[in-house]
Amino acid sequence: MSRGTPALVGWLAFASLAIVLVGGTLVWLLDPVPADDGQKRSLPSSVWQSVLHALDPGTVAGDSGHWWFVTIGFAITIGGILVVTAFIGVLTTGLDAKLAELRKGRSAVLERGHTVLLGWSDQVFTIIPELVEANSNQRRACVAVLADRDKVEMEDEIRAKIGRTRGTRVVCRTGDPVDPDDIAIVSPETARSVVILPATDADRDAQLVKTLLAVAKAREGQPGRCHIVGSVADPKNLPAARLAGGPDAHLIDATDVAARLIVQTCLQSGLSVVYTDLLDFGGDEIYFHEERTLVGATYGQALHAFRSSSIIGVRLASGKVALNPHSDLRLKPGDQLIAISEDDDTIVAGPPALVAQQAVVARPDPPPARKRALVLGWNLRATGVIQQLDEYLPHGSEVCVVARHANASPDLTRLAVDVRNLVLSFKEEDSADRTVLESLAVHHFDHLILLCGDDVDRQVADSRTLVTLLHLRDMQQRSGRRLSVVSEMADDRNRILAQGTQSDDFIVSEKLLSLMTTQISENPHLSTVFANLFDAAGSEIYLKDAERYVRLGQTVNYQTVVEAARLRGESAIGYRVAAKTSEAPSYGIVLNPDKTAPMTLHAGDRVIVLAEQ
């Protein structure tokens, strides 16, 4: 009994065999000459009759002959009934136990090349649809989720919020993400990548480090490499996390990335739409492509070689990434082009389209003008926001901070010593107070940044952010003057409630971090590309006046715009139509257009480029 269902089935089979053999032998011995045909019944025939009596109780009704023959047949039938009944009971109990075990989500995942998600948060509902989109051209793709939650509850929640996952199967297992034995359930040794979701408690970085160590322990001694992706909340914990993760870990500094996204999207109108398009798997993404036919050609020639892809840089054979390098850079064997394309199979080289040289203009950028930025609220990312503003804004620009936070004043005192280009001012007021907002004359600021407080509960902080956003939008409607507001949300579920009505009303939340995590899990080399793209040093994405590139009102193809940008030392990736800036969801942004398609740029239109400044 203690050995479980298999042992019980074996003993019942042994008992059935004993009843059949003993009963058949007795019939053969005690009934040597049956009355029906006068021939002696053979031993196999007697055993077969015993089998029929054991399996079919109705067989005993047809028995005839001596009383002891009928008695033996009846005894065999009773024994068969007992054995079959016990067998059914054992099977039912065993199946119930097995189904209960499967419901617990403790069975091993027998997959190869799958993606493992460790932990549970709202990012699950962003990452899984992106993985489904990324795997749309693959067969038998699988995503395995391991979390310390009930398996059925996880499956029901995924089914309710995500719906159908097309060709990608999503399997859930119950276990502790910091336990190597539990992690082994989702087969990390055969996985393509492992994504560690951030914990919801305050000490999320400690949980990340423990999970990284557990994954390393679970994969100990396993051949092959598995890309491990996670995010660190506090930059001070990044070295420890990298040490725990080892060479296969690609860790994102969530605080630093959020600060860079806030500043870049704040300073560049429409940049939020570009980043969202590049980070999700719908539309165009960033790919690496080695084009052997271009070996020996220059980067400038590569810019024109792809009709449906926009080249933004080169990944050298050494592994170094160069975004928007000099157009004279020669491509060598092993170098990979970094391209923005709809898919990896749409990066196809071909003859370049003709360039309308007469439409190309060479107008330099105007000198940067001083700006005024208003920062409402304070949190751990605020110092990074101020430092990034100091990197991007011209000398003499003003940044005013309005917050009621214990760390705001001492942090700003330290920052005032380090900043080179900014004039900092601070008001210790409630940034959600309508009276305070009206006294600030917010329309006189070029950029508004609304930070989510970290000194209160996440929901309370998001509620204050929502109230402040509503105040600002009401003030905008009353004055008729447009405000450019970039804010952040602690809980991504509140982002939908605060969704803006224009591209400049951008909300930075965990969704963008989830999109970046998914991209890196599919291609770990993108971590270096994103690090360079969000860094103030080097080349970043800018939206510049179209009149600096081509003659306005003249019909040209996009190849002409690419050539005009090349002459300026830039890599063009699209343009923005000013007349459509209020039309969702693209807000006038056209990313990676066909280079042969005709287009006409007008006053107010912009060209999207990678440039150093």
pLDDT for the residue 199 = 82
Q: Which one is predicted more confidently, 78 or 590?
A: 590
Of 530, 500, 438, which is closest to residue 231 (Cα–Cα)? 530
Angle at 142 between CA 136 and CA 147, to 5 degrees: 130
Domain limits at 568? 261-362+517-611
Distances from the Cα of 458 to the Cα of 235, 452, 455, 485, 491, angstroms? 20, 9, 9, 20, 7
Asked if pLDDT for residue 242 goes beyond 60, the answer is yes
- Estimate to the nearest angstrom the gap between the alpha carbon of 130 and the chain centroid: 6
What's the number of CA atoms in the CB half-sphere (13 Å) around residue 1?
1
Q: Which of 51, 79, 103 is the last residue of a domain?
A: 103
pLDDT for the residue 290 = 92
Q: Which one is predicted more confidently, 272 or 506?
A: 272
The full 3-state SS of 284-298, as one line of letters, equals: CEEEEECCHHHCCCE
372, 397 Cβ separation under 8 angstroms: yes
pLDDT tens sequence across 442-457: 888 989 999 988 878 8
pLDDT for the residue 374 = 94
Q: Which of 193, 223, 247 is the last residue of a domain?
A: 247
Whether residue 243 sits in one domain with residue 123: yes
In a domain, 512, yes or no: no
Whether residue 413 sits in one domain with residue 528: no
Which of 57-71, 107-121, 200-214, 441-455 has the least mean pLDDT?
Answer: 57-71
Whether residue 279 sits in one domain with residue 210: no
pLDDT for the residue 169 = 92
Exposure string of 532-560, with b = 16+ CB inside 10 Å and e = fewer, is bbbeeeebbbbbbbbbbbbbbeeebbbbb
In a domain, 501, yes or no: no
Which of 62-71, 153-162, 444-453 has the least mean pLDDT?
Answer: 62-71
pLDDT tens sequence across 341-387: 988 888 999 888 888 899 999 788 888 889 999 999 998 889 999 99
Whether residue 122 sits in one domain with residue 231: yes
> What is the percent of the chain with per-residue pLDDT over 90, rounded to a whole number?
43
Whether residue 381 sits in one domain with residue 354: no
pLDDT tens sequence across 315-337: 999 989 999 999 999 999 999 99
pLDDT tens sequence across 389-412: 999 999 999 999 999 999 999 999
User: Which DSSP string corresponds to 301-341?
Assistant: HHHTSBSS-EEEEEE-TTS-EEES--TTPBP-TT-EEEEEE
- The domain spanning residue 289 has which CATH number? 3.30.70.1450
Q: Which of 80, 103, 126 is the last residue of a domain?
A: 103
In a domain, 498, yes or no: no
pLDDT for the residue 68 = 62
pLDDT, mean over the chain: 85
- The domain spanning residue 381 has which CATH number? 3.40.50.720
H helix runs in 104-253, sequence order: 124-134, 151-161, 180-183, 204-218, 238-245
Whether residue 272 sits in one domain with residue 228: no
Q: Scanning the structure block, which residue is given the tokens 């899984």?
A: 128
Nearby residues of 140 by Cβ (< 8 Å), 6 or more positions away = 167, 169
Asked if pLDDT for residue 598 goes beyond 70, the answer is yes
pLDDT for the residue 328 = 93
User: Residue 215 is encoded by which pair of tokens?
Assistant: 């994954």
Whether residue 383 sits in one domain with residue 342: no
Of 450, 462, 486, 469, which is closest to residue 378 (Cα–Cα)? 450
340, 285 Cβ separation under 8 angstroms: yes
Whether residue 548 sits in one domain with residue 582: yes
Distance CA 434, CA 461 (A): 17
| Mean pLDDT value of segment 238-249 | 90
In a domain, 457, yes or no: yes
- 310-315 and 336-341: which strand pairing? antiparallel
Whether residue 330 sits in one domain with residue 284: yes
Whether residue 18 sits in one domain with residue 53: yes
For residue 541, what pLDDT band results from cuts at 50, 70 and 90?
very high
Domain count within the chain:
4
Task: Kindly report the pTM of this predicted structure.
Answer: 0.80
- The domain spanning residue 77 has which CATH number? 1.10.287.70
Whether residue 184 sits in one domain with residue 87: no
pLDDT tens sequence across 84-133: 777 777 777 777 777 777 677 788 888 888 999 999 988 899 999 999 98
In a domain, 45, yes or no: yes
Q: Which one is predicted more confidently, 414 or 476?
A: 414
Whether residue 390 sits in one domain with residue 354: no
Asked if pLDDT for residue 612 goes beyond 80, the answer is yes
